[in-house]
Amino acid sequence: MIEYCWQQEAYVANRTRPTLEKRAKERARQEKRKQKDERRAAVKANRAANPRQEGEEDPDIAGIRPGPQPSPWGDEEQN
């Protein structure tokens, strides 16, 4: 939205509001990016300080063995 002001016998566009809104959005983006970087650095430091013990199994793949996996529903046909 452009507002027009009559100054010195000429119309001058008043564009301050969109500029301020853009600056506020950019500041918000920068702040969010800074918070994400801080969070990532904290997680990275936590992982470095507490490494997984040798022989400790990854919880995401715990209990999985190589080869075909049994059906989690137990409805496989036996031949």
Domain positions in the chain: 3-46
pLDDT-derived band of residue 35, with 50, 70 and 90 as boundaries? very high
pTM for this entry: 0.47
Sole residue written with tokens 């137990």: 74
Mean pLDDT of the chain: 80
Task: Specify which of 10-19, 21-30, 65-74 reaches the highest per-range mean pLDDT.
Answer: 21-30
Report, as an integer, the average pLDDT of 27-56. 90
State how far the Cα of 39 lies from the Cα of 23, in Å rounded to an integer: 24
